[in-house]
Structure 1
Amino acid sequence: MAQVLEFKLPDLGEGLTEAEIVRWLVEIGDVVAIDQPVVEVETAKAMVEVPCPYGGVVTARFGEEGTELPVGAPLITVAVGERAPSGGGAEEDRTESSGNVLVGYGTSEAPARRRRARQEPVAGAAPATAVNGRAGVPEAEDGPLPVISPLVRRLARQNGLDLRELTGSGPDGLILRADVEYALRAAPRPAETAAPAPRPAATVAPGEIRTPLKGMRGAVADKLSRSRREIPDATCWVDADATELMRARTAMNTAGGPKISLLALLARICTAALARFPELNSTVDAQAREVVQFDHVHLGFAAQTDRGLVAPVVRDAHARDAESLSAEFTRLTEAGRAGTLTPGELTGGTFTLNNYGVFGVDGSTPIINHPEAAMLGVGRIVPKPWVHGGELAVRQVVQLSLTFDHRVCDGGTAGGFLRYVADCVEQPAVLLRTL
């Protein structure tokens, strides 16, 4: 006898309370393995795949792509205890459950390939109806509507149109974009009505493009706003001759072995500077009115992605060499662009390195990544006239900036840190003292 189990959106960690459904990875009627990802969601931290702890047949899905769900809301129901045919013709018992309900936890075995199964009536399960043109759960009067995409919902919402008043022209009554556009064209204009309703706040006026501040973009906006409100920041900067640093990197990469990135060398300089000026590797506990200093460096760095700017964190950067730093920067950057960074990889930083030179700019006064206390900025490295050895020469020059929380240190400490960084950039051999 099959048992229908409901799998709810699990606690995603890091204080996250909701997520947006980006893409369903299973269909109703699919056979799923234990801990197989069933849906891709976007949180305020990252894109994650949510694994289901049950193995069996998917009998219902809850929520359309583009829908925001709170933690604890139903995601899918799975009929477990059925015997589904395996690839070799034998039957597989799917009564097991891993018991894992947190993102990132699961068995070490690869999930089985997704298979379609003929759906039989399941004891205790409600009959399925059409949702989004597919079989689903019965619709309540205020439940989900048969709409082809979230874009259709958004178009209707922005124009104050009630989708429940429409009859869809698609299969099984599916409401298409053409249905919404036809209804909008047929709707009476404000001048034709005696008392036109006030324009909804979300209506897009001509010439306007509105982008919701939600998900990762919303989380970044909230964090930057909080930083501006709470941190009394200041910035100092200095130009440095990076010619010798660039030569050192070239020598390293021509000697064989994994390539060393410029960012890795700057990170190595950064951790050496923080060892000398640990005041900048700290945070302020405003409630206790205390400065909390760390004995480790979890180094955040800015990475641009299609979903916006993210700041992955390299754990224990102070204990890594240049090769290890290069590899970790590459791994985290690729994960950021793929949208697979975990919440843990985006939090917990103690200091941030911001290489805004990749955007072709020389300088910046960035906003500190709250709750950290400082950020080192690195501009582009370009040939410039420079006095070297008492003579004018063309050298590779970079502008360095340090934005810091003035509560954790004064200008003398900040200036000392920045000057040490500049010295290491100009004379990489200075780093030999700390190796």
Structure 2
Amino acid sequence: MPRFTFNLPDIGEGIAEAEIVAWHVKVGDMISEDQPLADMMTDKATVEMESPVSGVVTKVAGEAGDVIAIGAMLVEVEVAGEAKAETAEAAPLATEPAASIVEDENLHAPEPIFVAEVTPTSVATASAQPAAPAAETPGKVTASPAVRQRAKELGVDLTDVKAAGGHIRHADLDAFLSYGTQMGYRPVHATARRADEAVKVMGMRRRIADNMAASKRHIPHFTYVEEIDVTAIEAMRADLNANRGTKPKLTLLPMLIVAICKAIPQYPMMNARFDDDAGIVTRHGAVHLGMATQTDAGLMVPVIRDAQDRNIWQLATEITRLAEAARSGSAKSGELSGSTLTITSLGALGGITTTPVINRPEVAIIGPNKIVERPMFVGDRIEARKLMNLSISCDHRVVDGWDAASYVQALKKLIETPVLLFAD
């Protein structure tokens, strides 16, 4: 029977290779025309490849995680009939592939685990016991309230604990725990041990790894952090939300973006891209703001085009639209590239400060951190104020520390006096 070789087609943007993310077929499978063969990933998106023929799969190019050159064999199929063509290459795709991502919103902290301290005394006591510790005769157990409380929390019945002299101490409980664990005993709140798991770094995770490694390898980062009083802007946001009508609900992010864009004309070096091969820094007039977004597939950066031309309500709408596109996998490649400056925030999960990694070839990335309420001197009074640290990481090859600090101070003034955000 004739054999048909399906070569990996040019899937857009002039790329030279693509990574196998997942196989939908294997050698020996009977397949039909238009049946999915494999998911292939480029720098920006994942594309599902379909078979142009029916037959039996006789060869596949590799396994998930392998990189295949454009034009190389992807799948070989033994076809029925008198077909003469032995090699074919699919036509380039006419539409832009969509990035398939799902945002993870289910973060849970693990329950605390109590670990008993094993002392020399307890070890000696344990080694002296030839069998599982147990009460020799039923009767009254004597132990301090602290030992009883600890045993209760661990789910240990004190009548099972053997103690010299009859009075149970912490060392006796430690010995029981140490020996009992070897005999299969586990405290009621102990977490089950999981088997080791080897996870191959591939697909979007590998793209992120490569990009982050290149950024840290090529860019000498420095980070500057400033504390900003967000009490006034948070009060303004609450008033705007209370009177928004049919407009989208505001988070702090649209207001921060307005401040970022408003301060850029005075500090154009912050909104730039550096071609280090050509030795050229391009200071962009428009602010195409990247919005770092965490997903199950990894970190994605959808881009708000011409952010400087949008008001807070338009920004809020665009942020929501891009987030929904990311969750549904409908974000186009053009919406995931071309940023000139990036903002990254962990929202309510944010810590006191961050040192974000620059989204190469940009030269700066801004990271607002979580808001905390603390006492603060206001004149000669102490007041409860809402405070937030603002981080900025910059490429020290083209951005000086003085410029970065000056830009953040300009942001601080706008944020702490929010009426300036709406002044011409």
Residue 290 of structure 1, CA deviation: 2.9
Question: Is 1:218 aligned with 2:206?
Answer: yes
Task: Report the Cα distance in structure 1 between the residues aligned to 2:92 and 2:19, rounded to whole angstroms.
Answer: 15
Which position in structure 1 is the counterpart of 2:232?
Answer: 244
Shift of 1:376: 0.8
Post-superposition shift, 1:23?
Answer: 6.3
Instruction: Point out where structure 1 has 5 or more consecutive residues left out of the alignment.
Output: 79-98, 107-205
Q: Which residue of 2 aligns with 1:102?
A: 93
Partner letter of residue 22 of structure 2? V
Distance change in 2, residues 1:297/1:23 (3 Å): farther
CA-to-aligned-CA distance 1:208-243 (integer Å, 9 cap, x gap)? 543333221112112222222221222111111111
AA matched with 2:13: G
CA shift for structure 1 position 58: 4.7
User: Which whole-Å CA distance do the structure 2 matches of 1:399 and 1:14 have between them?
Assistant: 42
What SS does structure 2 have at the residue aligned with 1:382?
strand
List aligned pairs for 1:50-61, cutoff 5 A: 50=48, 58-59=54-55
1:283 aligned to 270, 273, 285, which one?
A: 273
Say what the alpha-carbon RMSD is for the aligned residues: 3.6
Deviation, structure 1 residue 342 = 4.0
Cα distance change on mapping 1:39 and 1:322 into 2, 3 Å: farther
Task: Check the 8 A contact 1:21/1:67 in 2, yes or no.
Answer: yes
Please give the per-residue CA displacement for 1:156-210, whole angstroms capped at 9, x wherever unaligned. xxxxxxxxxxxxxxxxxxxxxxxxxxxxxxxxxxxxxxxxxxxxxxxxxx97543
> Is the alpha carbon distance of 1:267 and 1:16 closer, same or farther for their aligned partners in structure 2, counting shifts above 3 Å?
farther
The 3-state SS of whatever aligns with 2:411 is helix
Q: How does 1:230-269 map to 2 (within 5 A)?
A: 230-254=218-242, 255-256=244-245, 257-269=247-259
Tell me how far 1:245 sits from its aligned partner. Answer: 1.4
Q: Which residue of 379, 401, 420 corresponds with 2:391? A: 401
Residues 1:253 and 1:49: Cα distance change in structure 2 (over 3 Å): farther
Structure of larger gyration radius: 2
- Residue 328 of structure 1 is matched in structure 2 by 318
Alpha-carbon distance change, 325 to 310 in structure 1, aligned in 2, over 3 angstroms = same
Q: How does 1:34-433 map to 2 (within 5 A)?
A: 40-46=39-45, 48-50=46-48, 58-59=54-55, 66=64, 68=66, 70=68, 71-73=70-72, 101-102=92-93, 104-105=95-96, 209-254=197-242, 255-256=244-245, 257-388=247-378, 390-433=380-423
Alpha carbons of structure 1 residues 347 and 235: separation in structure 2 relative to 1, 3 Å: same
Distance 1:413 1:424 in 2: 17
Deviations 1:230-287, CA, capped at 9 Å, x for gaps: 2122211111111121122222222212222322221222111222211111122323
Deviation at 1:105, TM superposition (A): 4.7
Alpha-carbon distance change, 67 to 102 in structure 1, aligned in 2, over 3 angstroms: same
Q: CA deviation at 1:379?
A: 0.4
Q: How many residues align?
A: 310
CA drift of 1:67 comes to 6.2
User: TM-score, with normalisation over the residues of structure 2?
Assistant: 0.63
> TM-score, length-normalised on structure 1?
0.61
Please say if residues 9 and 74 of structure 1, whose CA atoms lie closer than 8 Å, have aligned partners that are also in contact. Answer: no
For 1:372, what is the secondary structure of its paired residue? coil
Q: Is the 8 A contact 1:300 1:312 kept in 2?
A: yes
| Residue identity in the other structure for 1:216 | M
